[in-house]
């Protein structure tokens, strides 16, 4: 099967669905039947080996579950996808006739594990989906693509499943959309699928995250489904029924990604944005020139660059203003931090001209 062209040439969004884990033959048949009869699912997923964060939780049924997935999908004429994390998994999945493999977030993070999988796939023709690593490291994600490509695997797809965060109030894994967007810039030929289930961690967020992915022009969605989600042996809170998936898909708004370049209003708005961005950058550049003057002053008076209390006050002021300026606190914080770092770089340059190398 050629997954890449199926995704690219088919109707958007390409839908991948199925349970977090294959639990029994009956569970697999029930969910695949529901998905086939009611949804536009084109690829059935199921976890066979589950990389769990903590020991002593359900770690997947293992090899015995492979025929449950494959027989159920075959009965409804659908291809299958399985997560593999090592050589043994790859060999068992290939032997059983799985159509698509995917590398999970906890595996992408480890170049040794990715290389082991790549070596094992040398000379094999099978599509592979690569989930982002658990940490927001674009290079690590790209590295996994390169390792697979070097092993001759050409049918590659990216899956964005969000990034680990300690006690985030909203997401199980924060989306940091800029990272999949940057991946698409670097690998424009690779289809991009969003996995709202693992980003959300809870079913009431699935629609919001799926809609965002569609508005960012993702090619498809991977959504976990289960005949009885509350009783699921893994990821119970985020799974939905086949009927739940029908409802979710019917609420999604699909907008066109073709830019109507001749539309005057949009052209006008875009040019206004261009002009504002020019002004913003002029202002930033001017601000850094002043920072350098401050650096000169501090050098002459033997003062340190960082004055912590002053900086803390500036941040608090800006955060307080964020609401009335209609900017999120997260954005204000990130912007202020980035501007501060750049300002410190300029000041360091004038304070220690001989110590500062050309570009960090
Ligand atoms: C999964 O898809 O069930 C899974 C374990 O995903 P991730 O690698 O994104 O955690
Ligand atoms: Mn899961």
Distance 198 CA to ligand 1 centre (A): 7
Distance CA 80, CA 99 (A): 5
β-bridge pairing 220-224 and 43-45: unpaired
Q: Which residues surround ligand 2, an ion (CB under 5 A)?
A: 20, 235
Is 209:200 a contact under the CB 8 Å cutoff?
A: yes
Buried/exposed code over 206-217 (b: 16+ C-beta within 10 A; e: otherwise): bbebbbebbebe
Alpha carbon distances (Å) from 119 to 149, 175, 258, 290, 309: 11, 30, 40, 54, 54
Q: Tell me, what CATH number does 103's domain have?
A: 3.20.20.70
The answer to whether position 199 is within a domain reads: yes
Residue nearest to atom 3 of ligand 1 (CA): 20
- Identify whether residues 276 and 145 lie together within a single domain: no
- Identify whether residues 13 and 154 lie together within a single domain: yes
The neighbour count for residue 237, using CB atoms within 10 Å, is 14
Q: How many domains is the chain built from?
A: 2
Q: Is 131 in the pocket of ligand 1 (CB under 6 A)?
A: yes
Write down which residue in 192, 226, 251 finishes a domain: 251
- Identify whether residues 123 and 213 lie together within a single domain: yes
Q: What is the pLDDT along the chain (360 residues), one digit of tens a residue?
A: 999 999 999 999 999 999 999 999 999 999 999 999 999 999 999 999 998 888 888 999 999 999 999 999 999 999 999 999 999 999 999 999 999 999 999 999 999 999 999 999 999 999 999 999 999 999 999 999 999 999 999 999 999 999 998 888 899 999 999 899 999 989 999 999 999 999 999 999 999 999 999 998 999 999 999 999 999 999 999 999 999 999 999 999 998 877 666 677 887 788 789 888 988 998 999 999 999 999 999 889 988 877 788 888 999 999 999 999 999 999 999 999 999 999 999 988 888 877 766 554
The answer to whether position 358 is within a domain reads: no
The pLDDT score that the predictor gives to residue 351 is: 85
Distance 112 CA to ligand 2 centre (A): 23
- Identify whether residues 20 and 105 lie together within a single domain: yes
The pLDDT score that the predictor gives to residue 264 is: 74
Q: Which tokens sit at 207?
A: 């629609």
Pick the closest to residue 158 from 125, 180, 177 (CA basis): 180
Atom of ligand 1 nearest to the CA of 21: 3
- Identify whether residues 132 and 161 lie together within a single domain: yes
Residue 276 phi, psi (nearest 5)? -65, -40
Distance 153 CA to ligand 1 centre (A): 21
The pLDDT score that the predictor gives to residue 169 is: 82
The answer to whether position 323 is within a domain reads: yes
Range of the domain at 343: 264-351
The answer to whether position 259 is within a domain reads: no
Give the mutation target among 19, 20, 200 for probing the ligand 1 site: most ligand atoms within 8 A of CB: 20
The answer to whether position 359 is within a domain reads: no
- Identify whether residues 231 and 289 lie together within a single domain: no
- Identify whether residues 213 and 329 lie together within a single domain: no
Residue nearest to atom 8 of ligand 1 (CA): 104
- Identify whether residues 108 and 216 lie together within a single domain: yes
- Identify whether residues 222 and 290 lie together within a single domain: no
Tokens 């609420």 belong to 251
The answer to whether position 356 is within a domain reads: no
Q: Tell me, what CATH number does 272's domain have?
A: 1.20.59.10
- Identify whether residues 173 and 293 lie together within a single domain: no
Residue nearest to atom 6 of ligand 1 (CA): 104
- Identify whether residues 245 and 282 lie together within a single domain: no
Atom of ligand 1 nearest to the CA of 195: 9
- Identify whether residues 285 and 246 lie together within a single domain: no
């Amino acid at each position: 099967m050629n997954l890449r062209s199926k995704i690219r040439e088919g109707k958007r969004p390409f839908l991948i669905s199925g349970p977090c884990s294959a639990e029994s033959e009956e569970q697999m048949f029930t969910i695949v039947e529901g998905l086939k009869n009611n949804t536009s699912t084109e690829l059935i997923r199921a976890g066979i080996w589950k990389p769990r964060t903590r020991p002593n939780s359900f770690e997947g049924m293992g090899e015995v579950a492979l025929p449950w997935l494959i027989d159920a999908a075959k009965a409804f004429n659908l291809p299958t996808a399985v997560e593999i994390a090592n050589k043994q998994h790859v060999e068992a999945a290939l032997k059983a006739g799985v159509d698509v493999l995917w590398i999970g977030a906890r595996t992408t993070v480890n170049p040794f594990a990715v290389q082991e999988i790549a070596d094992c796939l040398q000379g094999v023709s099978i599509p592979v989906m690569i989930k982002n690593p658990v940490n927001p490291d674009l290079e690590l994600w790209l590295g996994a693509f390169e390792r697979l490509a070097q092993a001759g695997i050409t049918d590659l797809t990216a899956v964005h499943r969000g990034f680990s965060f300690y006690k985030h109030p909203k997401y199980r894994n924060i989306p940091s959309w800029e990272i999949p967007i940057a991946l698409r810039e670097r690998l424009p030929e690779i289809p991009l699928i969003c996995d709202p289930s693992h980003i959300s961690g809870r079913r009431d967020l699935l629609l919001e995250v799926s809609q965002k992915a569609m508005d960012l022009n993702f090619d498809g969605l991977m959504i976990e489904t289960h005949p009885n989600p509350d009783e699921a042996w893994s990821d119970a809170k985020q799974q939905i029924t086949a009927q739940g998936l029908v409802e979710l898909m019917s609420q999604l708004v699909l907008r066109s990604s073709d830019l109507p370049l001749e539309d005057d209003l949009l052209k006008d708005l875009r040019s206004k944005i261009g002009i504002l961005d020019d002004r913003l950058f002029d202002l930033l550049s001017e601000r850094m020139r002043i920072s350098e003057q401050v650096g000169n002053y501090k050098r002459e008076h033997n003062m340190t660059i960082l004055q912590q209390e002053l900086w803390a006050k500036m941040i608090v002021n800006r955060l307080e203003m964020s609401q009335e300026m209609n900017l999120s606190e997260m954005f204000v914080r990130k912007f202020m931090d980035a501007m501060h770092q750049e300002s410190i770089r300029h000041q360091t340059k004038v304070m220690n001209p001989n110590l500062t190398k050309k570009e960090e």
